[in-house]
Amino acid sequence: MPRLGRRSLLAGSALALMAADTVPALNARAKRRGLFFGSALSDDTLANDPMATARVDAECGMVVGEASYKWADIHPAPQTYDFSRADALLSFANSHAIRTRGHTLVWHEGNPDWLEPTLNAGNAENILTDHVRTVVGHFKGKLVHWDVANEVIDPDDKQPLKLRRTLWQRALGPAYLDIAFHTTAETDPGALRVLNDFGTDYTLAWQERKRVALLELLADMLRRGVPVQAVGLQGHLDAGEITLDQNVMAKFVADIASMGLKVIVTELDVRDQRLPADISVRDDAVAAHARAWLDAVLASPAVLGVLTWGMSDRHSWLNDKFPRPDRLTQRPLPLDVGLNRKKLWSAIAASIDSAPIRTAMR
Ligand code: 9MR
């Protein structure tokens, strides 16, 4: 075989990229079914990795800031708001005709150091209301969804409504949810109001408790007129987990839908730290696992779309949080570190392609 010069190698990779682009991207496929596809995008990727950012542009119709819309970034001191990173992400998205969702207004993590020591029963309602009014107001009409509340359930904490014991729950009790949802609705009525949570994907006992608790909480909120409109299923999956039951998952989504609520897959990724090192073994398992879960979820016409928690294996929170024992980089996302489409990309594409067609909305 003749040796290829640098010029022909470059031409070859450009051809490969062009070939990849003739296969419809994930959002183009999703649109055909009335869905959207998107990804989280970090400030670091946006500022420093133009190639990875270009793949987000190519594949996505929706982005969400991985951290830039959280308290720690946006409200670093009691009287200081800093929208610079969040605005940069929004302006990137707008200039590429990508829609943006906000994440998140109430969470027990991602908070500035001042918040928890400052908060008490006397001032919490004002602090929360001011934050939500200021942040949601800043983006009024520009974000399609808000994850108003994030990760609020933990039945093991033995709190009313099986809520997690957090800074907000301690200061205000369950009323913090009412305050956050009502204030968001008053400030930007057009942004879809989402309750986002994780750990409802498997038949593990703690996840079954969480599914029941989430359904009970939603029923209670709706009964009391708290304006929640959708559930975000984070979808942080584990390819080494054997307790995925598609019927249980499909019934759970159908139960949410039966309350008149929409569903969004907000943070899909598939960790592989329990799998052997071999890349093709890992990629097969990750792809098959995601396919099974997504097929069950997307069966419901209440599902609006899917976002992954990052587009490429260049950057995933999983390497810090769930490192592989052999320290190899995990392969949890649709593109590899070279930004090539992986088996997970194909699995997501196939699942989207076979989803029932629905009427697109937000
Ligand atoms: O991936 C995010 C990481 O970069 C941030 O440091 C962290 C705190 O803001 O949040 C991570 O994203 C989390 C998301 O906001 C909620 N679900 C779990 C995600 C992974 O921890």
Q: Whose CA is nearest to atom 2 of ligand 1?
A: 66
CA 67–ligand 1 middle distance (angstroms):
7
> Among the atoms of ligand 1, which is closest to the Cα of residue 267?
17
| Residue pLDDT tens, the chain, 362 long | 334 444 444 444 444 454 455 799 999 999 999 999 999 999 999 999 999 999 999 999 999 999 999 999 999 999 999 999 999 999 999 999 999 999 999 999 999 999 999 999 999 999 999 999 999 999 999 999 999 999 999 999 999 999 999 999 999 999 999 999 999 999 999 999 999 999 999 999 999 999 999 999 999 999 999 999 999 999 999 999 999 999 999 999 999 999 999 999 999 999 999 999 999 999 999 999 999 999 999 999 999 999 999 999 999 999 999 999 999 999 999 999 999 999 999 999 999 999 999 998 77
Fold of 6-353: TIM Barrel (3.20.20)
What CA–CA distance (Å, rounded) separates 127 from 51? 40
Buried b (16+ CB within 10 A) or exposed e, 9-36: eeeeeeeeeeeeeeeebbbebbbebbbb
3-class DSSP string for 14-42: HHHHHHHHHCCCHHHHHHHCCCEEEEEEC
Long-range contacts (CB closer than 8 Å, 24 or more residues apart) made by 174-178: 175/125, 176/106, 176/124, 176/128, 177/106, 177/149, 177/152, 177/221, 177/226, 178/221, 178/224, 178/226
What DSSP designation does 161 have? G
pLDDT digits (tens, 9 = 90+) for 299-340: 999 999 999 999 999 999 999 999 999 999 999 999 999 999
Q: Quote the CA–CA distance of 305 and 98 in Å, as a whole number.
A: 14
Determine the Cα–Cα distance for residues 122 and 132; give it in Å rounded to an integer.
Answer: 18
The pLDDT of residue 53: 98
Q: Which of 45, 63, 66 to mutate to test the pocket of ligand 1 (most atoms within 8 A of CB)?
A: 66
pTM: 0.94
pLDDT score recorded for residue 21: 58
Q: Which residues line ligand 1 (CB under 6 A)?
A: 66-67, 70, 109-110, 150, 234, 267, 317
> Which of 41, 74, 101, 109 has most ligand 1 atoms within 8 Å of its beta carbon, as the pocket-test mutant?
109
The tokens for 250 are: 């499909």
pLDDT of residue 20: 53
Per-domain residue ranges of the chain = 6-353
In a 10 Å sphere around its CB, with 0-12 CB exposed, 13-18 middle and 19+ buried, how is residue 127 labelled? middle
